[in-house]
Amino acid sequence: MKVTETNVVQQLINKNENAITFMIQQHGGLLTAIIKRHVNNQQQDYEECLDDVLLSVWDNIHSFDPTKNTFKQWIAAVAKYKAIDYQRKQISLQKQQFSVAEFHDSILPTQKPQEENLLHELLQQLPPNERRIFQKYYLEGNTSSEIAHEYNERESWVYNKLSRGRKKLKGFLFQNNEA
């Protein structure tokens, strides 16, 4: 069945995947504008948030009430609140970053040769570019804005690299502790 503006809601309820394509074609510009207003301009962040919006519409179409607003208004509201949630999540992740002082206090003052080997082994698990960013931030005490300037990137890019690096290192530590 062909998806139109009048039957898109019913097609979503029926789980017709063509309804998502139709929604992107008809309202993609609106969704893009709303998401980009709240999420930084990195393509990866925008795409991830858009995917969350589309999934939320797909999963929650039963909560759409045509007596309260139009479908276009409803998906705009979904996009706005998903983008705000995504923005809050990014801010929360940035606040969870280890500070240089915490890193130095927790690892460096008590380093013994065995711990230095562990630190070296841990850092070797990162790709060279991420390893250098990690070293600059945590070991050399450079700020994220200094690193971003050096790499000609946004500060959020640095936070993203640090976050991914920590996840990789945690995974490596967890894997070694199980062995």
Q: Please tell me the predicted confidence (pLDDT) of residue 87.
A: 83
Side-chain half-sphere exposure of 82, counting CA atoms within 13 A: 25
What pLDDT shows up at residue 101?
46
The residue ranking higher by pLDDT, 165 or 101, is 165
10 or 179, which is more confident: 10
Q: CA 129, CA 135: separation in Å to the nearest integer?
A: 10
Tell me the pTM.
0.53
- Domains in the chain, please, with CATH? 8-95 (1.10.1740.10), 100-178 (1.10.10.10)
Residue 102 has a pLDDT of 52
* Mean pLDDT score, 151-174: 83
Q: What pLDDT does residue 2 have?
A: 85
d(CA 118, CA 142): 22
Task: For residues 114 and 77, give the distance between their C-alpha atoms in angstroms, rounded to a whole number.
Answer: 54
Predicted local confidence at residue 116, as pLDDT: 67
Q: What is the mean pLDDT of residues 126-141?
A: 86
Q: Name the one residue in this structure whose structure tokens are 């992740």.
A: 93
Contacts of 21 (CB under 8 A, 6+ apart): 3
Residue 109: per-residue pLDDT? 47
Statement: residue 111 has pLDDT above 80:
no
Q: How far is CA 153 from CA 42, 86, 99, in A?
A: 10, 21, 20
Q: How far apart are the C-alpha atoms of 117 and 105, rounded to whole Å?
A: 18
- pLDDT-based confidence at 86, cuts 50/70/90? confident
How confident is the model at residue 63, as a pLDDT? 92
pLDDT in tens, 8-64: 999 899 999 999 999 999 999 999 999 988 887 677 778 888 999 999 999 999 999
